Amino acid sequence: MEQAVLDQGAERFGRGSYSLKVLGGFDQNVFEYNGEDGRRFIIKFLDAAKYRKASIIRELTWMAYLAEQGLNMAVSIRSAQDLLIEEVTHDSKRYYVIAFTKAPGNPLTDLTSDFAIVKQWGRGMGKMHKLGKKDATAASLVHRMAFPQWNDHMMFADAFPEGAGQKVHTQWKQYLKELESLPQDQDSYGIVHNDFHHNNFHVHNGELIFFDFGDVSYHWFAYDIAIAIYHAVQTVPENRKAEFVARFFDSFLSGYLEENTLSEEWIQRIPLFLDFRNIYSFVYFSKFVNWNEMDERTRKYLLTMKADIEAGKSVVKLSI
């Protein structure tokens, strides 16, 4: 990203001298702002060619609503012009810029060390899902904001990436057909985070602070649970996955069910959504990442993913 774009965005939200440190994001577009006056916050640059302003408004509105309902959230910051969303332009390219307080605390780096925190994580997701149900009258305004449905993403609209291969394409179509046949009743389907893994919250004094709601959409609640399991299980060696996922799932689900109900029928579908998350991740990388720009480790990882998908191998055996 051009330095001129970074400077414009940072100046809209900060003041005086500052430094920006890249934190990540799929497009390397998330930065930490450190000002000489002691200000520290997170600033995101969103390419207007890829992101719609309406989607960003929905994201910020949903986060504000969750905070009102008692969830610990990273707080949106207003610019010097009292705007939550700024726009900057450079060389005919336009970017939306948003900023948040930096969540105190640290990520949960060792998921095997504290299953009490995993239970809290599940409880937080359960509360979000309860608030995201279409029968939640207090959120009627939120539901009128037209969040995207699960398959509104360009992943589903554009052509399938040839590099993913025909066998993967065949399986992809089978998964989509199965998901399209699932019911979308108010107890199983609603507004979800859609990327609620362990790097999207911090632990601070025993409490969780949530952030990064850029993928929020309507989806099945069981899929959101599967996302948490899918990314958590990637952090442990292969020979420990079965033991880990059993403890993780028990802790996470017990916390979840304290806040939201989910029928046994939908809990039984979580393994389906786990494997869908796996093929979704592979197709996403195949579609949006240049193979020639990947490091060797990433290439090997994706080739292993592809072989497992083609062989019909599940991510992990989850006994329910």
Q: Residues 50-100: pLDDT tens digits?
A: 999 999 999 999 999 999 999 999 999 999 999 999 999 999 999 999 999
Exposure letters 122-137 (e unless 16+ CB within 10 A, then b): bbbbbbbbbbbbbebe
Instruction: Please name which of 191, 199, 158, 182 lies closest in space to residue 269, comparing C-alpha atoms.
Output: 182
pLDDT, residue 99, reads: 97
pLDDT, residue 320, reads: 82
Q: Where does residue 246 rank: exposed (0-12), middle (13-18), buried (19+ CB within 10 A)?
A: middle
**pLDDT tens digits, 186-232:** 999 999 999 999 999 999 999 999 999 999 999 999 999 999 999 99
Kind and range of the H or E run holding 168:
helix 166-180
How far is Cα 281 from Cα 286, in angstroms, rounded to an integer? 9
Instruction: Please name which of 74, 88, 103, 68 lies closest in space to residue 6, comparing C-alpha atoms.
Output: 88
- Percent of the chain at pLDDT > 90 equals 81
Q: What is the CA radius of gyration of the chain?
A: 20
* pLDDT score of 128 more than 60: yes
pLDDT, residue 91, reads: 92
User: Residue 123 — very low, low, confident or very high, per pLDDT cuts 50/70/90?
Assistant: very high
Q: Where does residue 195 rank: exposed (0-12), middle (13-18), buried (19+ CB within 10 A)?
A: middle
**How many C-beta atoms surround the C-beta of residue 27 within 10 A?**
13
Instruction: Please name which of 211, 213, 218 lies closest in space to residue 192, comparing C-alpha atoms.
Output: 218
User: Residue 138 — very low, low, confident or very high, per pLDDT cuts 50/70/90?
Assistant: low
pLDDT, residue 73, reads: 98
**pLDDT tens digits, 77-86:** 999 999 999 9
How far is Cα 79 from Cα 66, in angstroms, rounded to an integer? 22
Q: Please, are residues 81 and 12 in contact by the beta-carbon 8 Å criterion?
A: yes
Q: Please, are residues 31 and 22 in contact by the beta-carbon 8 Å criterion?
A: yes
Per-range mean pLDDT, top range of 7-16, 29-38, 241-250, 293-302: 241-250
* Arithmetic mean of pLDDT over the chain: 93
pLDDT, residue 89, reads: 96
